[in-house]
Each structure stands twice: as structure tokens, then as C-alpha cells.
Amino acid sequence: MTGIRVFICPLLLFGASPIGAATFEELQKNAMSALAAHDTDHAIELYRSATDLRPDWQPGWWFLGMLLYSRGQYADSRGALQHLASLNDRSGEAWGLMGMCEAGLGQWTDALAHIQKGLALGAGSQPPLGDVLRSNEALLLTKTGKFDLALERYLQFLHAGAPSEDLVAGVGLAALRRPLLPSEIPAQDKDLVTLAGQAYLLNVSGKAQAAEPFFRDLLARYPAVPGVHYLFASWLMRKDEDAAIAELHRELEISPGNAGADELLAWILLMKTDYSSAFPYALAAERADPASPVAQYDLGRAFARSGRVQEGIRHLEVSASLDPNNLETEITLAHAYAMAGRYADAARLRREALSLKEAAHAAARP
């Protein structure tokens, strides 16, 4: 498209078209008027012409990208936003909306990376774009198989009033570890996903007792569906660790290789200090998903507690790099450093852990 405009624009400049004959200032003024009048097609035409005349005009590229996105012209919108990002690499809004375009094109990995870059550059503080980017980040984390991170992201929407149908569906998919978007849920699975989302949201909202009938209904209605025993165990583990372990074994019978079940089973066994039993499940989880900070933590702790301290440190360091500022990981890694005689590193991490703890307490105060 850029090449075509390069050849057409000189013709327009010498032709009879009012747009072609206009100065940049006239185009800018008319584009803003068309935008205010919600005349999207005319505004797009004017912004195209203005950015052809002034390729370094950043607001023009932003409005062009935004308007093209609103028309569903995702490839053209992405091109405009890529040009804006080349002019201003620190534009979180450009990177974020570029990611939204890529999501519209089905380019999930690029979409997630660019939305996250936009948020990191501050686009999350710009309503309503920030809320849209954050919700789509959670959806894309689920779509790309990063279920635990998706659920973490969904927590930020808990205080926004009654959860929407889309939020419940998104949470249900992540909780069941299904790499789908809400629009991709098969019709026969909608009740399953909704029930899973409702149960999970009640539980993480501190309403474990209210969540219980939802979890038990889920188990009674869908006893052979992959993910259900895993989700039930995640609720049950705080009440009855042995019963949760039994549910996770049932999950692995139904869906062998379920990395979430292996992860959680290893975690519970580590909490029970049954390190030798935890090890094979931690190893299976890490092999299935090396980018999971929980799997790396489980395996690192299992190694360290089994006497293979250096291997444990290696995996704990990977976990810390994947999930920075995780208090439990830092404390465990500090202990492993001390076991290896690395006392200075252990002391440094303990100081950092103490700072994290104090910051968390300060944030929790009203």
C-alpha cells in the first residue's frame, strides 16, 4: 500500500481533486473536522493524504491507525501503527493497538508481545484503551497456553462490579486450561466453561464457601472432562491436601501430560515435604512447559531438597527470571544459595525478600 501511494500522490497533487490540491494544514484541519463529525471514511482519506505529505506527523498516523482499526482493516491499521512506532518507539498506544490489529489477523504470539510492550510503556494508564489492552492480554495469554499468567491478569478485574459474561468465559477457559478465545467455545461446552469461571471467580474473591456448590456441581456434571478434576483439586487443596492429591491423580488418568496437574501435584507434595514423590511430577511439568515459573520452582525445590543443590539453584534462578519479585521464589532461592555456601548471595536475596514483603504490606494497608 505504501508503494501505491507514493506513485498516486504526485498525480493527486497536480490533479483537480480537492484533497490533492490541499495544503497539509488544510488536510489536517479537514481531517479533524471529519473525525469530529464521525465521518470515518472521509477522515481516513484525509489522514492518508496528510501523512503522505508529512510522513513524520505522529498524530496523523495514530488517528489513521485507529480509524482503520475501527473499520476492521487490521493489516492497513497495523502498517500505519508500525510507521508511528518507527517515529516514536516509546509510544505505548501504538504498540498496544498494533497488537490488537495482530489479534484481529490471528497472529496471536505477535499480538501478545506487542500488547504487553504497549502496557509496559504506559498504555495501560490511558482509559479506555488500557482496560481493553489488559483484558485482551489475559485472553491472549490463555490462547497461547499461559493459563496461570492469564488467571493472574484476570484478578485485576475482580473489583469492577459484577463480572461480565466475557470475563466469566475467559476465566473459565484459563481455569480449565483450554487455549481458546470465548468466541471459539463449542456450543456444547458453554455451560461447562461458564460454571468453571463462576466457581473460580467466587473462590479467588474470598468466597470459598459460596464457591463449593459450584465446584461440586462441576465435578458431578462433568466427571470425565479434562481439566475438571484439576480445577476441583485447586479449590480442595486448602481444605484437604490428600483429597486434592487423589483428584489430581484422577486428572492425570483422564488427561495424561496435563502440565497443570503435574505442577499442582508437585507443589502439594513439596508442601508436605515429600520431596522424592514430588520430583517426577515436577520434572514432567518442566518438560511440558519450560517457560512456567511454577514448574521451574517445583523442580528447583525438589532438586535442592534431594541434595542436588546446584541443579536446584539453576531451576530456581530460571523461575525467578520468569516471575521477578516473587517472594516465595526469592526465599527458596536464598535458602538454596546458603546450602551451597553462597552466603553473600543468600543475604542479598533475603534483603530483597524483606523489601518485597514490606512493600506488599504497605500496599495492603487502607
> Which tens digits make up the pLDDT trace of 144-176?
999 999 999 999 888 766 788 999 999 999 999
Note the helical H segments in 176-240: 190-204, 208-221, 228-236
Determine contact, residues 12/49, Cβ cutoff 8 Å.
yes
- Quote the CA–CA distance of 176 and 197 in Å, as a whole number: 9
Q: What is the pLDDT of residue 362?
A: 55
- Quote the CA–CA distance of 278 and 49 in Å, as a whole number: 64
In a domain, 176, yes or no: no
Q: pTM, whole model, 2 decimals?
A: 0.85
Please give the single-letter amino acid code of residue 325.
N
The torsion defined by the Cα of 25, 29, 31 and 35, in degrees rounded to 10, comes to 160
In a domain, 84, yes or no: no
Please give the single-letter amino acid code of residue 117.
K
- Quote the CA–CA distance of 144 and 178 in Å, as a whole number: 10
C-alpha cell at 146: 499461559
In a domain, 15, yes or no: yes
In a domain, 262, yes or no: no
SS3 track for 249-284: HHHHHHCCCCHHHHHHHHHHHHHCCCHHHHHHHHHH
Q: What is the pLDDT of residue 252?
A: 97
Chain-centroid distance of CA 270 in Å reads: 27
In a domain, 48, yes or no: yes
In a domain, 49, yes or no: yes
Q: What is the pLDDT of residue 7?
A: 25
Q: What is the pLDDT of residue 19?
A: 54
Total structural domains within the chain:
1
- Quote the CA–CA distance of 198 and 195 in Å, as a whole number: 5
Q: What is the pLDDT of residue 159?
A: 76
Q: What is the pLDDT of residue 49?
A: 96
**What is the span of the domain harbouring residue 59?**
1-66
Polymer length in residues for the chain: 366
Low-confidence stretches of the chain (pLDDT beneath 70):
1-21, 160-161, 359-366
In a domain, 322, yes or no: no
- Quote the CA–CA distance of 141 and 292 in Å, as a whole number: 12
Integer-rounded Cα radius of gyration of the chain: 26
> Which tens digits make up the pLDDT trace of 15-26?
223 455 589 999
In a domain, 229, yes or no: no
